């Protein structure tokens, strides 16, 4: 790996700089041009060095203070169809399936972000009604854990 590549990868582990031209700032940190920085990041994506590249919104800073993991008891036959629809809601950041167990009948999980707990409850109730789902629970967040990306290089 070149010195520029190493510096860019190290910076990406911390996250892109916030600003109107994050790749320009990234390039300055690595000592190269913005065009070179973009080409390096694109090559990392192409060759699999970076498997996932996306942004995260700090929902607390945006005013979404109520977060509820809504777990849904959904049949296998309807799982993909409902997951596809639920994942289109603007208030849902995560939508995924987990194995069902005898002690825990919930198969589909959605992370719902709203301004208040009441809004989360109202949205979940509307979603359940629309899809005909009788059994669901809302598990509210009580603590925000810091998300950290680590590069083992």
pLDDT-based confidence at 17, cuts 50/70/90? Answer: confident
Indicate whether 73 and 41 sit together in one domain.
Answer: no
The answer for 19, left when phi > 0, alpha when psi is -120 to 50, beta otherwise, is left
Grouping H, G, I as helix, E, B as strand and the rest as coil, residue 71 is strand
As a residue count, the chain comes to: 153
pTM, rounded to two decimals: 0.60
Look at residue 100 and tell me if it is in a domain.
yes
CATH number (domain holding residue 71): 3.30.70.3460
Indicate whether 97 and 128 sit together in one domain.
Answer: yes
Nearest partner of 64 among 131, 123, 106, 127, judged by Cα? 123
Q: Are 79 and 143 in contact (CB under 8 A)?
A: no
Instruction: For residue range 101-118, list pLDDT tens digits in order.
Output: 999 999 999 999 988 999
Task: Sort 56 into a burial class: Cβ within 10 Å, 0-12 / 13-18 / 19+.
Answer: exposed
Rounded mean pLDDT, 93-107: 94
Look at residue 77 and tell me if it is in a domain.
yes
Q: Is the pLDDT of residue 148 over 60?
A: no
* Strand segments (E) across the chain: 66-72, 92-97, 108-114, 136-140
Look at residue 153 and tell me if it is in a domain.
no
Indicate whether 87 and 133 sit together in one domain.
Answer: yes
Look at the chain and report how many structural domains it folds into: 2
Indicate whether 96 and 124 sit together in one domain.
Answer: yes
Within 10 A of 68 (CB to CB), how many other CB atoms are there?
22
| The two three-digit tokens of residue 87, written as one number | 């994942």
Q: Mean pLDDT of all residues in the chain?
A: 88
Look at residue 131 and tell me if it is in a domain.
yes
pLDDT-based confidence at 150, cuts 50/70/90? Answer: low
Nearest partner of 93 among 67, 65, 132, judged by Cα? 67
Full domain range(s) for residue 72: 66-140
Indicate whether 31 and 71 sit together in one domain.
Answer: no
Look at residue 110 and tell me if it is in a domain.
yes
| The two three-digit tokens of residue 35, written as one number | 């065009």
Pairing of the two strands 66-72 and 136-140: antiparallel
Indicate whether 17 and 73 sit together in one domain.
Answer: no
């Amino acid at each position: 790996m070149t010195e520029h590549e190493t510096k860019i990868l190290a910076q990406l582990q911390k996250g892109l700089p916030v600003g109107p031209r994050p790749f320009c700032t990234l390039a300055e940190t690595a000592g190269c041009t913005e065009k070179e920085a973009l080409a390096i990041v694109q090559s990392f994506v192409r060759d699999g060095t970076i498997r996932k590249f996306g942004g995260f919104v700090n929902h607390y800073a945006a005013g979404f203070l109520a977060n509820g993991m809504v777990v849904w008891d959904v049949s296998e036959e309807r799982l993909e169809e409902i997951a596809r629809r639920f994942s289109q809601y603007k208030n849902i950041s995560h939508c995924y399936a987990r194995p069902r167990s005898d002690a825990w009948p919930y198969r589909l999980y959605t992370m719902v972000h709203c301004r208040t707990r009441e809004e989360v409850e109202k949205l979940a109730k509307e979603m359940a009604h629309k899809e005909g789902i009788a059994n669901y629970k809302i598990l509210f967040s009580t603590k925000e854990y810091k998300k950290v990306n680590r590069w083992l290089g």
